[in-house]
Structure formats: C-alpha cells, structure tokens
Amino acid sequence: MKQRKNRPSRQYLKQQNRAGYMFFMPWLIGFLVFTLFPFIYTIYLSFHKVNLNVLGWTTIFNGIDNYVTAFLRNPDFTPALIQFFLTELIYVPTILIISFILALLLNGKFKFRTVFRIIYFLPVIVISGSVMNQLMSSGNVQVGNVRRIFVYQIIESYSPELADVIVFLFNNFALVLWFTGIPIVLFLSGLQKINTALYEAAQIDGATSWQILWKITMPIIRPIVLVAAVFTVVSLGMFPINPVYGMIQNAIFDTVGGLGVASSYAWIYSLTILLLIAMIYVVLKDHSKDEYVINIRQQQAERQLKQVKRDQRRNKLHGLLLKKAGEKHEEQ
Amino acid sequence: MKSNKLNFVWKDSRLRSKLLGYHLTDGWIYRSAVYLLLVAIAYVFLYPLLRMLSMTFMSTADLINPEIDWVPQNWSLTNLRVAWSVMDMPGTIFNSLWYSGTLALAQTFVSAMTGFAFARYQFKFKNFWFMMVLLSFVIPVPLVLIPRWMMFITVQNTTGIKLIGTIFPQLMMSIAGQGVYSAILILIFFNFFKMIPVSLDEAARIDGATSWQVFYHIILKMSVPTIATVFLFSFVWNYNESYITSTFVRSAMKLMPLQLSLFDSIFERMSANVPGAPGGQFRLNESFKMAATLITMAPMMIMYLFVQRQFVEGIEKTGITGE
C-alpha cells in the first residue's frame, strides 16, 4: 500500500500518454511519412532502375550499377565528393576557432558591443544559395590576394600543399566568416553561463588568463563546441560551395540516369556527412566523464575482489580452526 | 641606480595604469587591440555586401574603368531598374513573402505543439522520439528529397490534383513538422516551455481546463516573444531556402531566390527582345547581377533592421546550448 501512494496511478499515466501523443502526432506522422520512409526507400532505390510510366513508378533491380555509374562512369562525381570532404575538413575547424575567438572578444564589456554583434549576425539573415552563388561568381568574396603576401611565398616555397590550403581558405574567407553567425551566438551564451566565481578562485590561486582559458573555459564550453560543429557541418552541406548538392538535384530531373542514380548520389553524399558528424562526435566527445565512470567501476571491482579474497581467507581460516577444534574434540 | 629610479617612476605613473591597467584587460593597449581586431573582422564580414552595394550603383563605364574601386563616378540607377524588371518585381516579392509566411506559420504552430508534448507529458518511448527529433536534423535533405518528390508525383497522378508547382508539398511537410531546420525550432520551444512552472498548468487543471485549453491559454499566451522569435527564424529560413523549393516549385511560381538563381538566363532571354538596344548596354555584367542580389536581400535586411534584437537574443535566450 505504501508503495502505491508514491507511484502515479495507472489512469494518470494513461492520460499522460494519450495527451502526449495527441500533441506529438503531427510530427510523428510527418517523421514516418516524410523522413523515415524516404530514408529507407532511398537505400532501396539506389539499387534499382526507376522509371515513371502510365502505371506509376516502376523499379527494376540492377545491383550496384548505380554506384558504378556514380564512381566510375560519371567523371565529375568522385572529384566533387573529395573536394566537398576536404572543404568541410578545412572549413569546420576554421569556423569553430574563429567563432570561439570572436565570442571571447564579444564577451567582455565595452562600447559598441551590440553593433558588432548585429554585424556578425547579419549573414545568418541574408545567406542563401543563390545569393552566395551570385556573390562568388562576381568575385566579391575574395578579400585581397594572398599570393602577394610575403609570408605566403615563404610557406609556398616550403610546402606547396599547405599553400594550396591557405589559398583555398583565403579566397573564400568572407564566406567562411559568414558561417560563424550562429556558432558565435552559441558560444556567447555558453560563456555567459559560466560562473564567474570559478575565474576569481583561479585568479586568487595565481592562474594566468591563458591557463584559465584552457583549464576552465574550454572544458565547460566543450559540449557547445560539439553542438556548433554539428550545426556547421549540416549548414555547410546545404550551400552551393559544395558541388555535390547541385549534382544530386540535376540527377533528379535527368531522364537518362533517372532517380536510381540520383538516390545513389544522395546516399553516398549523406554517408559522407554522417561520417563527418561521427568523426566530430568521437573527437569532441567528453571523455573525462567516461574515464571518471571507468575509474569508479575499477575501484569498485577491486574492492569487491579484495572482499572476496578476504572472505575466502577468512573461510579457510575458519575451516582450519574448526578442523583443529574437531581434532581436539576427538582427542579428548 | 638611474634605471631603478626610472623604473620606480614608471611603475607608479598614471600613464602606465592607463596604458596597461591593473589587469591586462583594463588597459588602453589591450582595448584598442580588441577594437582593431573587431573592426577588421567586421570589415571582412561586410566586404561582400559593401562590394555589392558599390557595384549596384556603378554605370557600365565605371565598372570597366580600373581606376574606380569603391565609389562610382557616375551614379546610375539603371542597374536597379533593369534588375527590377528582369526579376518581375513587385509580383515576385509578394509571392515570396506570402509563400514563406504561410510555411513559417505552419512550422511555428507544429513546433510549438511538439515542444509542448516533450516539455509536459510523459508518454511512452519519449526519450527515443526525442533522439529521433535530434537525428532528423542531421539527416541530409537530398537523401529524403527523392522519395518525397516521388510521393507527390504519385498523388498528383492518381488524384489529378495539381501539387508540383504549388505551395502544397512544402506546406504539408511544414504541417508535419519536417520543414527547414524544424528540429531547432522544436528545441527552442521545448527549452522555453520547460522553464514555465508546472504549477500554472496544475492550477488550470484543477479548474477543469483540458489539455488544449492549457496549451492555448497558458503556455502559448505566456510565450509570445518566443513564438515571435521562432516565427522570424522560420520565415527567414523559408525565404532563403532554394533547394527544396526549386525541386517542388520549379519555375511555376516566381519566388525571390529562384528568380535570382535563374537571373542570368532570364536576363539573356529578355535582353534579346529589346528592340534597337545599343550593343554594350544590355550585355549581362556584374552590376546587373549585384543589383538583383541587393533586391533579393533587401526585404530580409529591412526586417533585420527593425527586429535585430529578437534575432540576436532569440537563440541565446532560448538555450539550444543547454543540453
């Protein structure tokens, strides 16, 4: 009887369940129809030849033919995919670092703080595929020419590969900055949530601001870095700086290859993005928590082992004593 | 000895405390360095937009002239006028506004409902579904776009109702909570609704309110600023979205970003029909493109001028970061 009083009644739970699903229903239906089913169906389609005729859609199984088309027959796809992957690898860390630095700078109290914040957030409002295409095609995103800078020439003479990366980054530098809008806001809100007492305590103990940054700010902000990184990968994937995106769309309306080829493109592309997100997750995951848990578990296990051994020893001793006592008893 | 004395004077001087400050972050040197950095980065941020503005008002002669870099010599509004007519202007702007407005309304309402369900009710598999909401953000759009397109074609062919080229496919997706960045909107609502005290709900419950009444009279009415923020974000994202739109609408409806992406070809077609046009004047150049880009951005920028606070504080206040 006592237990039942604390637990919510079955009727209450039932009512909660029903009301919850009532509000949740539109999203659930949409998820099943517009996301989960398409997600699985695209895998199915990518192994089929798809045609539209009088009867509707017909699919004929053709094995991995679509993937062969994607990787071997289409000369543009593989280079575009590799370029996309490299772009993300270069852009995501750059965007994260720049937005973190900007957030740190904006976190202080000074004049015109709001003005700067408004400017840095402006790209989020105006950024769109076609706008970026037009700006890039008219050469307006290139701020200055890196090749003229002396330091660049030194780097180039040592390693041309690194120089290529730098040129790539600087030619689209304005664009890279345009993606920092939302990460800056995320970092800023994270920084403002940090308890200032932590900083004061560290200062009293004689920590420099550099140490405070690495030992206090960074570990606290880490989960936000993960969120911002995932957001950056996803939003970078949605813009025409990546050529694969447009290629998929052209393939949808292409009558020769058809939807089968388009879905194999889409699937390869999505795997690349999911791979990137998995990489980010592995790199930025909070390992310290795991280590902590593992440590505690190890200690527990060791303690248990000790206990078991102690018990065994005691039992042995007990047995011996009993035996001796029995012998004595018999002797008497 | 002398240097020691100097050092002593320097250490206590007013100049030092002003330049370097008691803490590093108080001094003039640090502050001016920060300002310099912020201004430099702001310049790079705005560089494409400034170039765009400058090019929009350049005449053809200015554009070719290598001596003119930023400020046009002969200011001209020809570019704007031409871009205005090529993009079929007042009509396109209204199309775009009501199109994204409708989608944003639907998206906001459904996100609020879903966020409410997650914030207030304990239903079965709640955690699983919450993971699915987060996961649906990560799934790339092209992956799910093809079957969606096939579905709408099938429905269109079997029922005979025209769907492709109208707002309905995207409206249905928005109503079903699968629009642009829907997961983020749901998260914003979820985090905000969690902060509203449950005792308010309970009080209404005791007075005999149903779930819908609680949702409408208490939750929604208390979160008007959040609703406004979510609506604005949804509006902007739907306005700027061109990938899904160009698949489902194609060229059946004139919308701003689509017109801009087709600008080059439309311009070519239209300029061929200009009777007796002087040779160079109606050749496509950067100025026309930039004018068109400016026109496309203008509505959102004007809106941003008035409601920038909602935008900048919106994401922060609602705490996507508080996982």
Residue A306 in any domain: the answer is no
Mention every residue, 6+ apart, whose C-beta is less than 8 A from residue A41: B147
Number of structural domains in chain B:
2
User: Could you give the C-alpha distances from B67 to B55, B70, B88, B285, in angstroms and in order?
Assistant: 14, 9, 34, 18
Q: Within a domain: residue A288?
A: yes
In this prediction, residue B322 carries a pLDDT of 47
Domain total for chain A?
Answer: 2
Identify the CA nearest to A30 among candidates B138, B179, B306, B233: B179
What are the tens digits of pLDDT across the range A249-278? Answer: 777 777 666 788 888 888 888 888 889 999
B182 within some domain: yes
Judging contacts by C-beta atoms under 8 Å, the chain B residues touching residue A32 are none
CB A252 within 8 A of CB B146: yes
Contact A181, A116 (CB under 8 A): no
Reported confidence tier of residue B110, pLDDT bands at 50, 70, 90: very high
Instruction: Indicate if B169 and B243 belong to the same structural domain.
Output: yes
Say if residue A29 is in the same domain as residue A110.
Answer: no
∠ CA A44-A48-A53, rounded to 5°: 110
Question: Which CATH number is A217's domain given?
Answer: 1.10.3720.10
Written as one letter, the residue type at A203 is Q
| Residue range A79-102, pLDDT digits in tens | 888 888 888 888 899 899 999 998
Contact A116 B38 (CB under 8 A): yes
B195-207: average pLDDT:
88
| CA distance linking residue B66 with residue A309, whole number of Å | 89
pLDDT digits (tens, 9 = 90+) for B37-58: 889 888 888 888 888 888 888 8
Q: Looking at residue A28, what is its pLDDT? A: 92
B323 — pLDDT class (breaks 50, 70, 90):
very low
Give the end-to-end CA distance of chain A in Å, rounded to a whole number: 58
Q: CA of B197: how far to CAs of A2, B108, B130, B202, in Å?
A: 28, 22, 21, 9
Determine, yes or no, domain membership for A307: no
- The overall average pLDDT reported for chain A is 81
- At B17 the pLDDT is 67
B59 and B84 part of one domain: no
Mean pLDDT of chain B: 81
Mutate to test the interface with B, among A27, A117, A284 (most CBs of B within 10 A): A27
Q: Kindly state the percentage of chain A with pLDDT values over 70.
A: 91
With respect to residue B3, please indicate whether it lies within any of the assigned structural domains.
no
* Shared domain check, B122 and B215: yes
* Pair B175, B36 in one domain: no
- Give the end of a domain, one of B63, B78, B93: B78
b/e per residue B105-127 (b: at least 16 CB within 10 A)? bbbbbbbbbbbbbbbbbebeebe
Question: Which residues in A lie closer than 8 A to residue B243 (C-beta atoms)?
Answer: 129, 238, 245, 249
Shortest distance between the Cα of A307 and any Cα of chain B, in A, equals 38
Do A90 and A230 belong together in one domain? Answer: yes
Domain-embedded: residue A162: yes
Which residue from B300, B315, B148, B199 is spatially nearest to A184, judged by alpha carbons? B315
> Do A158 and A234 lie in a common domain?
yes
Helices (H) and strands (E) in chain B, counts: 18, 0
Q: Which of B29, B63, B78 is the last residue of a domain?
A: B78
Q: Judge if A224 and A269 occupy the same domain.
A: yes
- Is A248 in Cβ contact with B289 (below 8 Å)? no
Q: What is the pTM of this model?
A: 0.82
A185 vs B117, B154, B316: nearest CB:
B316
Region B183-209 average pLDDT: 88
Q: How much is the pLDDT for B33? A: 85
Q: Domain containing A162: what range?
A: 76-292
Q: Are A141 and A38 within one domain?
A: no
Inter-chain touch A234–B236, beta carbons under 8 Å: no
Encoded amino acid at A168, one letter: F
Confidence of residue A30 (pLDDT cuts 50, 70, 90): very high
Are residues A34 and B178, on separate chains, in Cβ contact within 8 Å?
A: yes
8 A C-beta contact, residue A68 and residue A77: no
Same domain as B216, residue B124: yes
Residues contacting B315, CB < 8 A, separation 6+: A182, A185, A186, A189, B188
Domain that holds residue B257: 79-318
Please check whether residues A38 and A187 belong to one and the same domain: no
Chain A residue with Cα closest to B294: A131
B-chain CB neighbours of A118 within 8 Å are: 308, 312
d(CA A105, CA A99): 10
Helical (H) or strand (E) element with A61? strand A56-61
| Backbone torsions φ then ψ of A206, nearest 5 degrees | 90, 25
Cα B228 to Cα B97: distance, rounded to the nearest angstrom: 16
pLDDT bin (cut points 50, 70, 90) of residue B28 is confident
Mean pLDDT within A178-185: 86
Arithmetic mean of pLDDT, A96-117? 85
Chain centre to alpha carbon of residue B147: 27
pLDDT tens readout for residues B155-178: 888 888 888 888 888 999 999 988
- Evaluate if residue B105 carries a pLDDT over 90: yes
pLDDT digits (tens, 9 = 90+) for B234-279: 999 999 888 888 888 877 788 888 888 878 777 777 776 655 454 4
Sort out which chain B residues have CB atoms less than 8 A from A20's CB and list them: 117, 120-123, 126
Encode A285-319: b = buried (16+ Cβ within 10 Å), e = exposed.
eeeeeeeeeeeeeeeeeeeeeeeeeeeeeeeeeee
B146, B236, B311: residue with CB nearest A263: B146
Q: Say if residue B96's pLDDT is above 80.
A: yes
Of the two residues B15 and A35, the one the predictor is more confident about is A35
Check whether residue B40 and residue B123 sit in a common domain.
Answer: no
